[in-house]
Structures are given as structure tokens and as C-alpha cells.
């Protein structure tokens, strides 16, 4: 399954295959760092606002796709908030991976991560920051980066096929 997390309220990009789209449909509460998703309700966030199953959704996907405005070389506030709320995708225990300490995987799937970032004035420094952050995210998920592309406007995204 493809899991698409986007800040676009009206998502018009064609998607092939089985997929789920998470987009702003209601208010999202920020992660409060309570560890409930790790110990009380493993895999699921304890905050009941409609976004609590994102960690489980990530556990069922093979492709994680971000479609987001680029904000200072990172994801938009909404997409970052969804990403934070999906921390239950990983296990609280640690392992060494590539010589670094990371959380263990909770699920068996391997995620391929792609990002399609838009913004009129994305600088080269912001692009480099985004590439580093997304590579670190893939390492944290024990996955791989598939593709990172940058667009000037939301309208340019219309030529994509996911």
C-alpha cells in the first residue's frame, strides 16, 4: 500500500494501486510525548482526533509519500505533525543500524520514502537540508529514500503520477 501524507486539502494527483491519503480534514493535535502509543496502545496514538492510526497505517505501507510545502528545508507543519504522531510505527527499544542508535522496527514492512516538496523560493540550502532530513527519516524507519523532487508551485504537482 502507498501511504500519502499531504498538506493539500484538495488532493488532485492521480495515484495508482492501493493507497491511503492523509490530508488536513480536521484539526490535528500535536504529539505530547506521553509514550502512550508505545506502552498503552502499541502502534496507535492515544489522542483521539482522527489521526491516531497513522503509525498502524505506516506499518501496512511499502511506500510512504510526502506531498508538502517545503518549510525551511523541512515538511509543512501539518505533515510534520502527522509524522510526529506516527512515532508508534517504531518500537521503543533500540538497535544499532549503520553504526548509529535507532529504534527497532515494530512492523516487518520496509518503507520506500518519496517526497514531493513545493514552494516558490526554495533555496539550494533548503533543498540540501530537506534531502538530509528525509534521508535521516528513512534511516529512522529502517527504510530507503526512493525519490525527492522540488516544485515551484502546487500546480506543477498536477503532472505527477504517484
Q: pLDDT tens digit string along 121-146? A: 999 999 999 999 999 999 999 999 99
Please report which residue ranges of the chain form alpha helices under DSSP H. 36-39, 54-59, 77-85, 124-140
What pLDDT, on the 0 to 100 scale, is given for residue 114? 98
What pLDDT, on the 0 to 100 scale, is given for residue 17?
Answer: 96
- How many Å separate Cα 140 from the centre of its chain? 11
* Torsion over CA: 114, 70, 105, 37 (sign): negative
Q: Which three cell numbers stand for residue 72?
A: 525551511
Any long-range contacts for 38-44 (C-beta under 8 Å, 24+ apart)?
A: 38/87, 38/88, 38/91, 38/92, 39/92, 41/88, 42/88, 42/106, 43/88, 43/89, 43/106, 44/88
Q: Which residue ranges make up each domain of the chain?
A: 2-157
Residue 26 CB-density burial (10 A; 0-12 exposed, 13-18 middle, 19+ buried): exposed
148/42 Cα distance (integer angstroms): 31
Phi and psi torsions of 97, nearest 5°:
-140, 125
The domain made up of 2-157 is a member of CATH 3.40.50.360: yes
Task: Look at residue 91 in the predicted model and tell me its pLDDT.
Answer: 87
Q: Which residues of the chain have pLDDT under 50?
A: none
pLDDT of residue 158: 86
Set of cell numbers at residue 78: 501539518
Q: So what's the pLDDT on residue 125?
A: 97
Amino acid at each position: 500500500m502507498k501511504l500519502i501524507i499531504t498538506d493539500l486539502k484538495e488532493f488532485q494527483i492521480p495515484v495508482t494501486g492501493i493507497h491511503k491519503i492523509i490530508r488536513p480534514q480536521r484539526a490535528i493535535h500535536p504529539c505530547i510525548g506521553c509514550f502512550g502509543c508505545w506502552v498503552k496502545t502499541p502502534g496507535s496514538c492515544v489522542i483521539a482526533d482522527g489521526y491516531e492510526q497513522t503509525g498502524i497505517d505506516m506499518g501496512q505501507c511499502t511506500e510512504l509519500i510526502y506531498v508538502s510545502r517545503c518549510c525551511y528545508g523541512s515538511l509543512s507543519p501539518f505533515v510534520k505533525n502527522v509524522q510526529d504522531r506516527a512515532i508508534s510505527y517504531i518500537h521503543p527499544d533500540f538497535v544499532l543500524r549503520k553504526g548509529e542508535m535507532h529504534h527497532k522496527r515494530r512492523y516487518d514492512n520496509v518503507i520506500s520514502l518519496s517526497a514531493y516538496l513545493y514552494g516558490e523560493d526554495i533555496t539550494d540550502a533548503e533543498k540540501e537540508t530537506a534531502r538530509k532530513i528525509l534521508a535521516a527519516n528513512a534511516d529512522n524507519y529502517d527504510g530507503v529514500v526512493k525519490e525527492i523532487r522540488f516544485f515551484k508551485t502546487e500546480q506543477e504537482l498536477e503532472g505527477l503520477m504517484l
